[in-house]
Structure 1
């Protein structure tokens, strides 16, 4: 690696090769097992396309995505909203949506959810002008790009915080779901006797120049898989209070009980604003 002009490239490449060689020695890797491993990596690439990213799913399923996320976020300590992995289902250019409007863009049966959120800085002051992407799976556990019965960009929206750092939206309560298991990652989970389920959650991505891009998820507090998330994404701070209402006056007409509310405050810290590369189109 000595001829590499980029010192960071040299550092990473040297460490990668060193650890790969150490791994092979530690497990006494056979030639047959080597062939299986290379085939597994090849099939991860072959299973990746515009609507699905098997590589990110693999990194998620071995906890690697969450490790990198935790290593690179949280320097603000308890004053910063905990970050979470981006996941393989974020799409760029979701519809610009007025605060308070619905992100339900095609018939999506499920309990209504009304979310009110605020973005503040580490001193507690509101942050106006933050672009916030919101996306989630439907109550049957599928993102719209996985389900031909949903309209394009269903359960996705892009909001801008007001002078008080606030934004709100209407949706349906998300459900937990299995990660895709029809590819190499599914084979790995089955071989390890692991379930493929993620607890129900809503994704949020906050972006504003001058602030570190916030990528996180807010999990439903009564989900049975909070302690065993297949991609290791749950932290206690990200479990939201999805409050059930069986009576009272709902925030909008025509809402049947039960309906849910979620109130959550996000904290962004100053730093470099970088949008991630969308894992799918």
Structure 2
């Protein structure tokens, strides 16, 4: 036994993990150890600061539950979620760009019929119809695709955050038809602040950052033999596009919701009164030949 230098300690720790059987786990752990040790040396971290960091991460875990994922919020807010998406998505050049899933995705939402509204509460807002096709990279329809959509209510809260909303409000998935076409009925999304009543709010306050996400629809597109797509559709008129708190905006995903007159909405969608419309095709990558 002898006293070690800072660099020697890092090497000893790395050696202790050298026999990790899973090669990918070994690679990740050893890289993480190198970077964490380098970070401690770089900022000359004190024991008091280290303890504050431990207690902060503990609080992030303690506030998380089956309806709130503060750890994902933390990952989002330091840009790691978006960086992982950029590094790992591997989206083909001609495909629709992906972005973060976010902490409010809920699996097992109900199927909606063609043009059925995902808004389950009485609402005076003009309907928004999103229509288009799901295509492969060759421009051919993906006839067995499913489109899943979720968004906040007009109060800026998802159903799982808000006991006043029914379960699966503003959530649901749609089947495309034989031509790959879909018709989603919803309402115009609103900008909203991420939750600030916990550790992430403390971080935002300490760093003088705002908590706002620009208005968007979350969309997940899946089909047999195709790479899943998780993406957003952002409202082109939102003022927070250039400062999204989770860094998730991509220019190709920004769209304008076009107004439709009452006469045209009656003819196109069978409703009275004006509405909004977005025509949008999603392009996904096949991993197996069609058919």
TM-score, normalization by structure 1: 0.92
Q: CA deviation at 1:270?
A: 2.1
**Residue 32, structure 1, aligned to residue 48, structure 2:** yes
3-state DSSP of counterpart to 2:61: helix
**Residues 91 and 97 of structure 2 are in contact (CA less than 8 Å); yes or no, is this contact kept in structure 1?**
no
3-state DSSP of counterpart to 2:100: coil
Q: How does 1:4-83 map to 2 (within 5 A)?
A: 4-77=20-93, 79-83=94-98
**Residues 112 and 255 of structure 1 are in contact (CA less than 8 Å); yes or no, is this contact kept in structure 2?**
no
Among residues 195, 216, 220, which one is paired with 1:180 in the alignment? Answer: 195
Structure 2: runs of 5+ lacking an equivalent: 1-16
Distance between the aligned counterparts of 2:244 and 2:272, measured in 1?
Answer: 31
Distance between the aligned counterparts of 1:253 and 1:121, measured in 2?
Answer: 30
Q: How does 1:246-265 map to 2 (within 5 A)?
A: 248-250=263-265, 251-252=268-269, 255-257=272-274, 259-265=275-281
Equivalent residue, structure 1, for 2:4: none
**Residues 206 and 214 of structure 1 are in contact (CA less than 8 Å); yes or no, is this contact kept in structure 2?**
yes
Among residues 156, 168, 173, which one is paired with 1:158 in the alignment? Answer: 173
**Residues 109 and 139 of structure 1 are in contact (CA less than 8 Å); yes or no, is this contact kept in structure 2?**
no
Q: CA deviation at 1:112?
A: 1.5
Q: How does 1:49-198 map to 2 (within 5 A)?
A: 49-77=65-93, 79-198=94-213
**Residues 107 and 150 of structure 1 are in contact (CA less than 8 Å); yes or no, is this contact kept in structure 2?**
no
Structure 1: runs of 5+ lacking an equivalent: 273-281
Q: CA deviation at 1:245?
A: 3.6
Equivalent residue, structure 1, for 2:12: none
Compared with structure 1, are the counterparts of its residues 52 and 101 closer, same or farther at alpha carbon in structure 2 (3 Å cutoff)? same
Distance between the aligned counterparts of 1:116 and 1:239, measured in 2?
Answer: 16
Distance between the aligned counterparts of 1:8 and 1:58, measured in 2?
Answer: 25
3-state DSSP of counterpart to 2:58: helix
3-state DSSP of counterpart to 1:3: coil
1:44-67 per-position Cα deviation (integer Å, ceiling 9, x unaligned): 100110111001111111111111
**Residues 74 and 82 of structure 1 are in contact (CA less than 8 Å); yes or no, is this contact kept in structure 2?**
no
Q: Which is further off, 86-95 or 130-139?
A: 130-139
**Residues 85 and 99 of structure 2 are in contact (CA less than 8 Å); yes or no, is this contact kept in structure 1?**
yes
**Residues 119 and 187 of structure 2 are in contact (CA less than 8 Å); yes or no, is this contact kept in structure 1?**
yes
Among residues 241, 255, 268, which one is paired with 2:284 in the alignment? Answer: 268
3-state DSSP of counterpart to 1:249: helix
Among residues 240, 256, 279, which one is paired with 1:225 in the alignment? Answer: 240
TM-score, normalization by structure 2: 0.89
**Residues 120 and 170 of structure 2 are in contact (CA less than 8 Å); yes or no, is this contact kept in structure 1?**
yes
Greater helix content: 2
Distance between the aligned counterparts of 1:159 and 1:74, measured in 2?
Answer: 25
1:55-95 per-position Cα deviation (integer Å, ceiling 9, x unaligned): 11111111111111111224411x01000100011111111
Q: CA deviation at 1:144?
A: 1.1
